[in-house]
Amino acid sequence: MVTKREFASTVSAEVAAFFDDTRALGEYHFLDVGDQQYGECIVVIFGDVRILIDGSHQGDFRGRNGHKSIPDQLAEIFREPAPHRISMVVVTHGHADHIGCLPDLVSNDVIVPEWAFITDPQMGFGRDSQDAIPHDALSDPSQRLVAALREEDASGLSDGELRDFIDAAASVESRYADFIAHLKEKRTKIVLNIGEKLPAELLRLLRPTGFTFLGPTQEQLLLCWNQIAKTNKDAKDAADALLRADATLDEVSLYREIVSHDPKFDDSTDSGGRGNGMNCQSITLAFGPKNERVLLAGDMQFAEPGVKGADDEMARLRESVVRAGPYKVFKTTHHTSHNGQDDDFLTKLGDPPIIVHSGGINDPSHPYPSVLELLKGRRSTIKFARTDRNGHIIVRPHLDVAEAIEKSSGRLNDFSDNVKDMESMAEPAGNGPAAQATFEQAQPISQPVSQPISASQVIIINLPAGLVDMTVAGVEIVVRAPRDDRSVARTSGWPTPPAPDRPQRGGGRIRQAADFRFAGGRNLPSLLFVTNANALAKNIGSAETDKALSAIRAAGHDICEVDGSAPDAVNIVRGRLSSKQSTKGVVLLGGYDVVPCNVVNVLSPSLGAALGSRVIEIDDDHFIVWSDELYGDVDEDRVGEIPVSRIPDGRDSVAFLNALAAPGVNGGGIERFGVRNIARPFAETAWGVMAGRRSLNVSEAFLTSDAEPEHLDSALHYFMLHGDWRDGRTFYGELGNQAGYTNAFAVGNVPKQASGVIFSGCCWGALTVSQRAKDAGAAPIAPRVVERSIALSYLMAGASAFVGCTGAHYSGANSDPNVNYAALMHRSFWSELPTRGYSASSALHFARQAYSADLAERADSLEPVDLARRLKNRSQFTCLGLGW
């Protein structure tokens, strides 16, 4: 066994010897790893020496969704047909997105490695000689879950995609064993990484590359092995316990239940992060001569190891890495996650001017937003390339930074966010309705106004220029009264949202849909259901889609198929509505990637000009919102004449069918539950017109732990709290004197069954995708999943409707409806609800009409900023769920 001192001295000697020598010019290829979450595959070339590091995803052996396969990319790089001679193949660690298609590359003679420096299979998978899993054992459900739960969180995938993920994860260990066996058959010299010095023969071969093996040490590997072994045991225990309770659970349900309810498998907590052990085993390498050094470290978590007892070892590894620098090129670790790197680490690396990210675009949190912001802050001194935007990337460190990077697509220094809460796979940009979202530009109308104002119409008024005060990043900037009354969540000073699986009174997830009955067996008025059946089937499954559409037809309702952009879909629906004027409402079936949502700019050119560049300071959404209203516009006046609701699918067939089977509200014996911010007393006026006798809870005192089950069983729920577009799991309360914020209501509080109606004045409370409307088109639509959304969790529980905002909501502390931006909308909705037979879709439609009429009547007295805020409120409220 090599001691720490011997290992460190060996590293230092290698670096010193290398710097004294002249090497061939290095070329580094970061391959296109497709659109799937995670993934990494790197080729390093120094003259005749070729090194292949990791193998992306298993499916990348053949290529998917327009992305070239790994074999095709290798043929282009080496400019020769297979088989390709490889000096050394490296497997940094045991995750499926790094082992990937390497077994197929070897078994199909695409590559013929001379050497293999790879993760030890027993250490990498947390095994010892007594519990090694034979190949046929992975047909056992609990063992398959063990393999899947060793990987990083995949709960954001659709059910079909999650099945594929579990299949791939369950086979990765046996495929890795086959990989090693095939290497032996081909007489490849194999070095298993157990933290010891490498053979002198291999080091001589790699000398022209400036190769330095930096770690991890054997002590760190063993600490990681222990954590992986514990994860294996915890996963098997959890799966076995669930199967004992319900032997009918399939592996997708098992996976979701474990990830949702067991904190040991919550990657968002310090106690979770099941992938940490495997990540911190990543083989860490440096290449290149002085002034051209390149650091490649797999998924090493330099900033936050997350492995019990490994902090000291990680500190030593960081020191070794820093000594081997400074670096001109740094491939970010763990797909640019917050636990891989931080600002201090980048500084100690020598502030590398070239930074590369590897990963697919359909990734919920990589690159991690905070790291993107960190890199963006360095944009004047770095070139940032990323495979999810730039495809195949080539870096030649011997060239000047401005000329050193070659890419197959996109632009460098693209710091756009793949979206923190991006929960699932999305269509590639440009290939579907989601990618074709277009802005509906506001049209000015003449005064006086005697009709309701549409979502895309504004009144142009010659009033003095001037803006009210605003809150930007938690700092209040007073320009002109009144104050900014957005109920907007700010990240600074906010409490940590409770984990989805945290025990909370009255909450808990339920999965039903087995006894599916459309609308709970109720007779509904004539409705037009709008969908794209193929896109919906891709999200929830063909059988489930057929089941839903057949039930709708059997109930006597029409179904309209749409395709293309939002305007195209609106025109198709308008034609159907015109041909059947007895239709009482429209129900959109599926998320924005199935039936595209209109992106509406509520500002006309004139109003936008009046507000000027300060629009982006006044409103977090730049007054651009998601809106479904135009699907009810029959006469093309850009005002919805009939109600519209949407049942988002959340990539979850059970949630979709539960929402479609909502039994509605029984008009007798109705009770209510609600929470408001201490700074929003106007909510009491809306509360006063609701059925029921309970008092409205106030958020300064009311916390997530205070939600009583019997209160949550109420048919009517009302929230006037803060929200955040980045996290749909929590609504926030407020302390007095602006002293801070509290967790007032969380996804874990959503009742197991909720057949009623929910109305939310929370910012972005009804946002079912991970993008704000202002960012539409910058990346593929990213639907949220049930576990990450209060709104979707209510629909999963069977709620008739969740009515809320797709953007930042405006209200205010003043209860006077002539001053408060939201009071009339809230009160009108609750007043209309019982008169419309508890149809939330109809109630919202008529509340919007009342709000528009009031806005038109008072237009002459409104300043431009007040007008803009009210127009935004009018357009952004949406009805999720069946709504009838």
Neighbours of 636 (CB within 10 A): 11
In a domain? residue 802: yes
Claim to verify: residue 564 and residue 488 sit in the same structural domain: yes
57, 101 Cβ separation under 8 angstroms: yes
Claim to verify: residue 748 and residue 653 sit in the same structural domain: yes
Claim to verify: residue 524 and residue 581 sit in the same structural domain: yes
Q: Which of 380, 407, 434 delimits the end of a domain?
A: 407
Instruction: Compute the distance between CA of residue 640 and CA of residue 851 in angstroms, rounded to an integer.
Output: 14
- The helix (run of H) or strand (run of E) holding residue 296 is strand 294-296
Q: Kindly report, residue by residue over 7-21, the tens digit of the pLDDT.
A: 555 554 444 444 444
Claim to verify: residue 451 and residue 402 sit in the same structural domain: no
Q: Which of 385, 407, 429 delimits the end of a domain?
A: 407
Written as six digits, the tokens of 36 are 């799937």
In a domain? residue 366: yes
> Domain total for the chain?
2
Claim to verify: residue 734 and residue 835 sit in the same structural domain: yes
Q: For the purposes of burial, counting CB atoms within 10 Å of the CB of 430, is it exposed (0-12), middle (13-18) or buried (19 or more)?
A: exposed
HSE value, Cβ hemisphere, 13 Å, CA-based, for 247:
2
In a domain? residue 383: yes
Claim to verify: residue 724 and residue 818 sit in the same structural domain: yes
Torsion angles phi and psi, residue 375, rounded to 5: -65, -40
Amino acid identity of 239?
A: A
Claim to verify: residue 205 and residue 321 sit in the same structural domain: yes
707, 504 Cβ separation under 8 angstroms: yes
Neighbours of 160 (CB within 10 A): 18
In a domain? residue 697: yes
Claim to verify: residue 382 and residue 463 sit in the same structural domain: no
Residues in CB range of 784: below 8 A, 6 or more apart:
421, 423, 650, 728, 767, 768, 769, 770, 792
Instruction: Compute the distance between CA of residue 535 and CA of residue 243 in angstroms, rounded to an integer.
Output: 33
Neighbours of 62 (CB within 10 A): 12
Claim to verify: residue 397 and residue 283 sit in the same structural domain: yes
In a domain? residue 817: yes
Instruction: Compute the distance between CA of residue 672 and CA of residue 649 in angstroms, rounded to an integer.
Output: 27
pTM of the shown model: 0.52
Rounded mean pLDDT for each run of 10 residues along the chain, 884 residues in total = 54 46 77 93 97 96 90 96 97 96 97 98 85 58 88 80 87 94 97 95 96 96 93 88 82 87 61 75 97 98 93 96 98 95 96 97 83 93 96 97 95 78 32 32 30 31 31 32 37 41 40 74 96 95 95 97 95 94 96 96 88 86 96 91 97 94 86 95 96 93 91 96 92 78 93 94 95 85 89 96 97 90 97 96 97 88 90 97 96
In a domain? residue 649: yes
391, 410 Cβ separation under 8 angstroms: yes
Claim to verify: residue 696 and residue 771 sit in the same structural domain: yes
Neighbours of 783 (CB within 10 A): 28
Claim to verify: residue 359 and residue 463 sit in the same structural domain: no
Written as six digits, the tokens of 128 are 């010892």
DSSP 838-860: T-HHHHHHHHHHHHHHHHHHTGG
Claim to verify: residue 87 and residue 207 sit in the same structural domain: yes
In a domain? residue 580: yes
Nearest one of 381, 374, 295, 390 to 337, comparing CA atoms = 374
pLDDT of residue 547: 95
Provide the angle, in degrees to the nearest 10, between the axes of the packed helices 159-185 and 251-261: 100
Instruction: Compute the distance between CA of residue 577 and CA of residue 256 in angstroms, rounded to an integer.
Output: 40
Instruction: Compute the distance between CA of residue 60 and CA of residue 100 in angstroms, rounded to an integer.
Output: 8
- What's 311's domain CATH number? 3.60.15.10
Query: What residue numbers bound the domain in which 559 lies?
Result: 443-880
In a domain? residue 380: yes
Instruction: Compute the distance between CA of residue 301 and CA of residue 280 in angstroms, rounded to an integer.
Output: 6
- Is residue 448 reached through a cis peptide bond, with omega within 30 degrees of 0 on the bond before it? yes
- Which DSSP letter does residue 882 get? -
Instruction: Compute the distance between CA of residue 319 and CA of residue 12 in angstroms, rounded to an integer.
Output: 11
Neighbours of 342 (CB within 10 A): 15
Q: Which of 407, 431, 466 delimits the end of a domain?
A: 407
3-state secondary structure 581-616: CCCCEEEEECCCCCCCCEEEECCCHHHHHHHHHHHH
Instruction: Compute the distance between CA of residue 790 and CA of residue 880 in angstroms, rounded to an integer.
Output: 12
Instruction: Compute the distance between CA of residue 118 and CA of residue 89 in angstroms, rounded to an integer.
Output: 8
Distances, alpha carbon 276 to alpha carbons 281, 286, 539, 802, in Å = 9, 22, 30, 37
DSSP 245-265: H-TT--HHHHHHHHHHH-GGG
Distances, alpha carbon 740 to alpha carbons 240, 561, 701, 784, in Å = 43, 48, 13, 28
